[in-house]
Amino acid sequence: MQSPLFGFTETQTQERYALQNPQLLRVALEGHQDVLARKGSMVAYQGLIEFDGEYQTQGQQRARARTGEALDLMRCSGQGTVYLANLAQHVHIVDVDHDGLTVDSAYVLALDSTLHWESIAVDSQYGISGSGKYNLNISGHGKVALMTSGQPLMLHVTPDKYVNVDADAIVAWSTSLRVQMQAQTHSSGVWRRRGNTGEGWELSFLGQGYALVQPSELLPPQNAVIGGGAAAQFGMGQQGARGQNQGNIFSN
Query: Quick one: which of 68, 72, 70 has its CA closest to 86?
Result: 72
Q: CA distances (Å), 113 to each of 51, 142, 144, 203, in order?
A: 13, 8, 10, 30
What pTM was estimated for this model as a whole? Answer: 0.75
Question: pLDDT tens, position by position, for the chain (252 residues)?
Answer: 888 888 888 888 888 999 999 999 999 998 778 999 999 999 999 999 998 876 555 555 565 555 555 578 899 999 999 999 999 999 999 999 887 899 988 899 999 989 988 887 776 444 444 444 678 889 999 999 999 999 999 999 999 988 999 888 999 999 999 988 776 555 444 444 444 444 567 888 999 999 999 998 766 665 554 444 444 443 333 443 334 444 343 333
Burial 110-140 (b: 16+ CB within 10 A, else e): bbbeebebebbebebeeeebbbbbbbbebbe
Report d(CA 58, CA 70) in Å as an integer.
12
Report d(CA 156, CA 212) in Å as an integer.
9
Question: What integer pLDDT is reported at residue 215 of this predicted model?
Answer: 92
Q: Are 250 and 130 in contact (CB under 8 A)?
A: yes
Question: What integer pLDDT is reported at residue 229 of this predicted model?
Answer: 47
